[in-house]
Structure 1
Amino acid sequence: MNPEKVVFGFFILLALTLNFGFVYGEIDNLAHHHPWELASVVVVNLIATVLKLGDRSQMGAVLLATSLVAILQLLAAAVIWTVAAHASAEGFNAGALSSVVSLAAGAMVANVVSVILLIIETTMLRR
């Protein structure tokens, strides 16, 4: 068993499961989406992205692209949350939360693609 592959797979799956946990729930209900959970999703996705930087194969390039898409959407969600909570005159409302959760759901799609690609790559190694 390769410990590097275990850590790599761990962070990719953790990114997906944390992202799902944040997105799950009513889209406009603040009680279902916690800011610390969004922060943990961003951090774990950043770690997963760094782990993908070393692979120079075509599959590695696609995995990195999916990770960059997820990071971009999660950072946009974090910016919207921060601006709506601190700089907006109307405060953090259901519309802002819906935008945050929608962006996080897009990042979750990118994470699903990343996990599917990881599964495909793993099954191709067993020939």
Structure 2
Amino acid sequence: MNFQKVVFAFFILLALTLNFGFVLGAIDAPDHHNIYELFAAIVVNLIATVMKFGERSHIGNVLLASSLVADLQLLVSACIWGWVAHISADGVTPGAMASIVSLAAGAFIANIVSVILLMVETATFRR
């Protein structure tokens, strides 16, 4: 068993599940989406991205691209949440929360692509 590959797959799957946990719930209800879960999803996605930098195959390049997309969308959603919570006079409105969750849902799709690519790479691996 290759421990490095286990850790790599662990972080990719953890990024997906944390992102799913954040997105799950009513899109415009702030009490359905935990800010700490968004933070955890961002941190784990960034760790997964760093781990993908060593890949030199074509699938590795697409894995890295999908991870960068997820990172970008999660970071923008966190910035929007910070903006509306601390700077905006209206606070976290249902419309703002819908934008935050929509961006996180886009990151969720990018994480699904990463998991599918990981499964394809694993299935085509020759001993």
TM-score for both structures, normalised by structure 1? 0.98
Measured against aligned partners, the alpha-carbon deviations of 1:38-86 in whole angstroms (never above 9, x if no partner) come to: 0000000000000000111111100000000000000000000000000
**Aligned ranges for residues 111-122 of structure 1 at < 5 Å?**
111-122=111-122
**Aligned ranges for residues 28-39 of structure 1 at < 5 Å?**
28-39=28-39
Measured against aligned partners, the alpha-carbon deviations of 1:76-125 in whole angstroms (never above 9, x if no partner) come to: 00000000000001111111110000000000000000000000000000
Tell me the equivalent position of 1:18: 18
Tell me the equivalent position of 1:89: 89
Q: Give yes or no for contact 2:30–2:92 (8 Å, CA) kept in 1.
A: no
**Structure 2: runs of 5 or more not aligned:** none
Tell me the equivalent position of 2:106: 106
What is the aligned-residue RMSD (CA, Å)? 0.8
Measured against aligned partners, the alpha-carbon deviations of 1:11-64 in whole angstroms (never above 9, x if no partner) come to: 000000000000000001111101001000000000000000011111110000
Tell me the equivalent position of 1:2: 2
Name the % identity: 65
Q: Give yes or no for contact 2:11–2:47 (8 Å, CA) kept in 1.
A: yes
The AA in structure 2 aligned to 1:105 is A
Structure 2: how far apart are the matches of 1:29 and 1:96?
A: 10
**Structure 1: runs of 5 or more not aligned:** none
Structure 2: how far apart are the matches of 1:101 and 1:34?
A: 11
Tell me the equivalent position of 2:70: 70
Secondary structure of 1:92's aligned partner:
coil
Shift of 1:126: 4.0
The AA in structure 2 aligned to 1:104 is A
Figure out how many residues of one structure are paired with residues of the other and give that number: 127
Tell me the equivalent position of 1:48: 48
The AA in structure 2 aligned to 1:29 is A
